[in-house]
């Protein structure tokens, strides 16, 4: 497949579809009529009220359509917007602007909404920051109504073939208004798996790809495109052969889906009776539902960066306690591994005023930032100790390169526990501390680290990046970024052995664990706990149930002596082919989301 015709993104609703592209541009209109004469004030207030009523009816209608087409739960997406329009305080404030400042209805509404948007987007409450998108939605609808613009441009004629819609931002409102018969697929520049519109697209069964960065520039109306919502790309002007290949792959995906459903709810146990623990990686609170639905046995990696990204202030101790307790309650009886802030590199929050660094991935990040800012670190450590009272909360330290960092963190934890006790605040006296093995330095001295840790967790995304000296987010190098490189394999073996020696748990939480062929390798290397990206849980569960652990170990042994990544891959495929149809497996493989795409998912979560 020639890469210059491929636009990559993040697959958020599975399925492959082909059709003519249709670009929908919808933007918040510019308000030109800003003030009114004093005698027009009453009429202006009436215009506002009428617009609010009309938009409310429109939203209620959308909610009903969503209920019919996608279900009652999905239809609640519109509740927040309807409630906002009914909020007497909000409406009164807008009317006051018209009355006292003689603003036009559209100007007053815009002013108040933008003011709230600025306030909410800097709020310490995650829920409030999430509602910013709802606010933008009603701003668009009410302004369009007041300036008399249609809310969405009409789609192609009813007898035209179903289109693949391209837009900047895919809102739930737009998604549900698109009739299934007219729409074959959806692609947007912004958004991520957890966006409301993505959830809706999945429920409606419309394949969807988000994060297609240059989609609007490269696509023209009517251009034939192939959209793959499973693997997350759009192919412009596909050839006959590419269409046939996509059709085959889609058929296999359906077959695989049926098999995955058969093992839903069954334990992750190999044919020879060895059990494997599957946990979930949670980047954003919305992912908890999917993680739970797929029966993860705990959260193996709770990334805490979303708490700070896009905010001007750092989260408080209470706020973090609430989050950790919430997750612990949802996974009662299972571990919840909270990773301390992995700031820096691609994740620097506005709350942190730092000068740009020439080499951010080799710069001031993760544990380095935390240890240099004990006042910031203590807040998180205290929160984890307090939350430990409600469940099996554990702490995981990112980017460790030497044991002093671990020792220093332990001292801070002990000190935090003492002060909490002195202050009379209920908290645990200590908690399990794990180290992320994600730098070659940590992998090389893993024996010493293991001797001082309660558990290890391998971050294969960074471990691969630093071992191979390949930027994990660089699209040009994506083909070379291979965690199955022989050098990475040697380190993985070493880490597994060190954990066994020290008699502590070693899990893998990098994206590698979510890839079935790599999961087979990791099991063969001796890892028994994998923490996965939530959508990968069914596939890896199914895989575990197909294989024999001895065969996995034998394949891993052979892979360890391979001299190239290609040889590693062939060896593993040969080993796995005894149990599963490799082509079938490939059809269900999820796109690799490390680096930039995952960051976009953070950003959209904190809009
Ligand atoms: C990793 O590096 O493999 C990892 C799990 O952490 P992150 O992707 O957040 O850097
Ligand atoms: Mg990492």
424 pLDDT band, cuts 50/70/90, is very high
The SS3 assignment for 387 reads helix
- The contacts of residue 63 (CB under 8 Å, 6+ apart) are 75, 77, 78, 79, 82
State yes or no: pLDDT of 484 exceeds 70: yes
The per-residue pLDDT for range 153-189, each reduced to its tens digit, is: 555 455 678 899 998 888 777 776 676 677 899 999 8
β-strands 10-13, 208-210: how paired? antiparallel
Q: How far apart are CA 63 and CA 71, in angstroms?
A: 10
Instruction: Quote the pLDDT of residue 595.
Output: 39
The per-residue pLDDT for range 323-380, each reduced to its tens digit, is: 999 999 999 999 999 999 998 876 666 666 677 788 888 999 999 999 999 999 999 9
State yes or no: pLDDT of 11 exceeds 50: yes
Average pLDDT over residues 487-513: 97
Choose the weakest-confidence range: 31-40, 184-193, 276-285, 454-463: 184-193
Instruction: Quote the pLDDT of residue 202.
Output: 81
CB 342 near ligand 1, within 6 Å: yes
Instruction: Quote the pLDDT of residue 344.
Output: 82
Q: How far is the CA of 459 from the centre of ligand 1 (A)?
A: 5
Catalytic residues: 196, 509
Choose the weakest-confidence range: 287-291, 431-435, 571-575, 577-581: 287-291
> What percent of the chain shows pLDDT beyond 90?
61
DSSP state of 162: P
Instruction: Determine contact, residues 164/225, Cβ cutoff 8 Å.
Output: yes
CB 277 near ligand 1, within 6 Å: no
State yes or no: pLDDT of 190 exceeds 90: no
46 pLDDT band, cuts 50/70/90, is very high
Average pLDDT over residues 114-140: 77
Q: How far is the CA of 459 from the centre of ligand 2 (A)?
A: 5
CB 438 near ligand 1, within 6 Å: yes
Choose the weakest-confidence range: 127-131, 403-407, 538-542: 127-131
- The contacts of residue 125 (CB under 8 Å, 6+ apart) are 319
Side-chain-facing half-sphere of 295: CA atoms under 13 Å: 14
Residue appearing with tokens 């801070």: 412
- The contacts of residue 442 (CB under 8 Å, 6+ apart) are 400, 401, 435, 436, 449
Residue closest to 462 by CA, chosen among 290, 607, 301, 323? 301
State yes or no: pLDDT of 436 exceeds 90: yes
Residue closest to 308 by CA, chosen among 118, 117, 132, 124? 124
Instruction: Quote the pLDDT of residue 79.
Output: 86
> What percent of the chain shows pLDDT beyond 70?
89
Q: How far is the CA of 366 from the centre of ligand 2 (A)?
A: 9
Alpha helices in 349-481 (DSSP H): 367-372, 374-387, 403-422, 440-444, 446-452, 460-468
Residue closest to 109 by CA, chosen among 136, 139, 131? 139
Tokens coding 32: 């030109």
Atom number of ligand 1 nearest to Cα 511:
3
Strand partners, 17: 227
Total residue count of the chain as it appears in this document? 607
504-523 burial string, b = 16+ CB within 10 Å, else e?
Answer: bbbbbbbbbbbbbbbbbbbb
Kindly report the backbone phi and psi dihedral angles of residue 536, in degrees, each rounded to the nearest multiple of 5, phi listed first: -85, -10
Q: How far apart are CA 503 and CA 498, in angstroms?
A: 8
Distances (CA, A) of 166 to 29, 162, 377: 20, 13, 43
CB 459 near ligand 1, within 6 Å: yes
| DSSP E strand stretches across 176-315 | 183-188, 208-210, 224-228, 233-236, 277-282, 299-302
Mean pLDDT of the chain: 88
Atom number of ligand 1 nearest to Cα 457:
5
Q: How far apart are CA 607 and CA 120, in angstroms?
A: 10
Average pLDDT over residues 580-604: 58
The SS3 assignment for 181 reads coil
Q: Give the Cα-Cα-Cα angle 121, 124, 128 (nearest 5 degrees).
A: 55
Instruction: Determine contact, residues 309/603, Cβ cutoff 8 Å.
Output: yes
The per-residue pLDDT for range 542-589, each reduced to its tens digit, is: 999 999 999 999 999 999 999 999 999 999 999 999 999 998 888 776
Q: How far is the CA of 348 from the centre of ligand 2 (A)?
A: 14
Ligand 1 pocket test: which of 594, 596, 599 has the largest number of ligand atoms within 8 Å of its C-beta? 594
CB 405 near ligand 1, within 6 Å: no
Q: How far apart are CA 211 and CA 192, in angstroms?
A: 7
Burial class (CB in 10 A: 0-12, 13-18, 19+), 330: middle
Q: How far is the CA of 590 from the centre of ligand 2 (A)?
A: 19
Instruction: Quote the pLDDT of residue 126.
Output: 62
Residue closest to 14 by CA, chosen among 227, 165, 287? 227
Instruction: Quote the pLDDT of residue 367.
Output: 97
Instruction: Quote the pLDDT of residue 519.
Output: 98
Ligand 1 pocket test: which of 280, 472, 509 has the largest number of ligand atoms within 8 Å of its C-beta? 509
Atom number of ligand 1 nearest to Cα 598:
8
Instruction: Quote the pLDDT of residue 596.
Output: 36
605 pLDDT band, cuts 50/70/90, is very low
CB 110 near ligand 1, within 6 Å: no
Q: How far is the CA of 596 from the centre of ligand 1 (A)?
A: 12
CB 509 near ligand 1, within 6 Å: yes
Q: How far is the CA of 301 from the centre of ligand 1 (A)?
A: 9
State yes or no: pLDDT of 594 exceeds 50: no
Q: How far apart are CA 415 and CA 32, in angstroms?
A: 60
Q: What is the pTM of this model?
A: 0.77
Q: What is the DSSP string of 263-298?
A: TTTS--B-TTS-B-EEEEEESSTTHHHHHHHTT-SS
Residue nearest to atom 9 of ligand 1 (CA): 303
Q: What is the DSSP string of 127-145?
A: HHHHTHHHHHHHHHHHHHH
Q: How far apart are CA 34 and CA 473, in angstroms?
A: 45
Instruction: Quote the pLDDT of residue 76.
Output: 79
Ligand 1 pocket test: which of 342, 400, 471 has the largest number of ligand atoms within 8 Å of its C-beta? 342
136 pLDDT band, cuts 50/70/90, is confident
Ligand 1 pocket test: which of 281, 369, 400, 459 has the largest number of ligand atoms within 8 Å of its C-beta? 459
The per-residue pLDDT for range 58-109, each reduced to its tens digit, is: 889 888 887 887 778 778 778 888 888 989 999 999 999 999 999 999 999 9
């Amino acid at each position: 497949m020639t890469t210059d015709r491929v636009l990559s993104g993040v697959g958020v609703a599975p399925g492959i579809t082909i059709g003519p592209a249709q670009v929908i541009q919808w933007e918040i209109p510019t308000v030109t009529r800003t003030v009114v004469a004093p005698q027009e004030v009453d009429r202006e207030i009436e215009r506002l009220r009428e617009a609010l009523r009309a938009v409310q009816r429109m939203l209620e209608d959308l909610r009903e359509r969503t209920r019919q087409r996608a279900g009652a739960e999905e239809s609640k997406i519109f509740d927040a917007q309807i409630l906002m329009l009914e909020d007497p305080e909000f409406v009164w404030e807008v009317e006051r602007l018209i009355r006292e400042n003689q603003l036009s209805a559209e100007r007053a509404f815009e002013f108040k909404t933008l003011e709230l948007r600025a306030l909410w987007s800097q709020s310490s409450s995650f829920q409030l920051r999430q509602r910013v998108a709802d606010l933008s939605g009603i701003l668009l609808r009410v302004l369009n109504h007041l300036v008399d613009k249609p809310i969405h441009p009409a789609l192609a004629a009813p007898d035209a073939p179903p289109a693949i819609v391209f837009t900047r931002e895919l809102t739930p409102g737009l998604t549900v208004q698109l009739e299934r018969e007219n729409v074959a697929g959806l692609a947007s520049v912004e958004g991520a798996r957890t966006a409301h519109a993505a959830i809706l697209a999945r429920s409606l069964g419309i394949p969807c790809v988000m994060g297609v960065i240059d989609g609007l520039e490269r696509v023209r109306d009517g251009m034939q495109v192939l959209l793959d919502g499973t693997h997350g790309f759009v192919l412009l002007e596909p050839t006959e052969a590419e269409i046939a290949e996509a059709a085959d792959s889609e058929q296999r995906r359906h077959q695989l889906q049926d098999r995955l459903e058969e093992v839903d709810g069954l334990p992750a146990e190999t044919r020879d009776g060895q059990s494997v623990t599957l946990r979930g990686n949670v980047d954003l609170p919305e992912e908890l539902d999917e993680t739970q639905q797929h029966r993860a046995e705990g959260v193996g990696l709770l990334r805490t960066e979303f708490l700070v990204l896009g905010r001007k202030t750092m989260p408080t101790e209470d706020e973090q306690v609430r989050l950790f307790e919430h997750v612990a309650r949802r996974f009662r009886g299972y571990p919840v591994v909270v990773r301390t802030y992995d700031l820096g590199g691609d994740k620097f929050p506005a709350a942190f005023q730092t000068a740009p660094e020439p080499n951010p991935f080799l710069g001031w990040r993760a544990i380095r930032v935390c240890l240099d800012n004990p006042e910031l670190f203590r807040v998180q450590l205290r929160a984890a100790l307090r939350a430990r009272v409600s469940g099996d909360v554990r702490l995981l330290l990112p980017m460790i390169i030497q044991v002093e960092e671990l020792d220093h963190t332990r001292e801070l934890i002990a000190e935090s526990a003492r002060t909490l006790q002195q202050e009379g605040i209920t908290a645990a006296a200590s908690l399990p501390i794990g180290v992320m093995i994600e730098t070659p330095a940590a992998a090389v001295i893993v024996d010493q680290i293991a001797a001082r840790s309660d558990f290890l967790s391998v971050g294969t995304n960074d471990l691969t990046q630093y071992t191979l000296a390949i930027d994990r987010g660089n699209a040009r190098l994506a083909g070379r970024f291979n965690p199955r490189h022989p050098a990475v394999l040697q380190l993985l073996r070493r880490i597994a052995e060190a954990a066994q020696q020290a008699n502590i748990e070693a899990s893998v939480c990098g994206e590698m664990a979510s890839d079935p062929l790599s999961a087979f390798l990791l099991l063969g290397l001796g890892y028994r706990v994998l923490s996965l990206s939530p959508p990968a849980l069914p596939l890896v569960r199914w895989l575990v149930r197909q294989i024999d652990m001895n065969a996995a170990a034998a394949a891993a042994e052979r892979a360890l002596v391979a001299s190239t990544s290609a040889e590693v891959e062939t060896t593993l495929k040969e080993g796995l082919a005894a149990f599963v149809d490799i082509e079938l497996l490939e059809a269900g493989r999820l796109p690799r989301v490390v680096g930039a795409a995952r960051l976009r998912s953070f950003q959209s979560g904190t809009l």
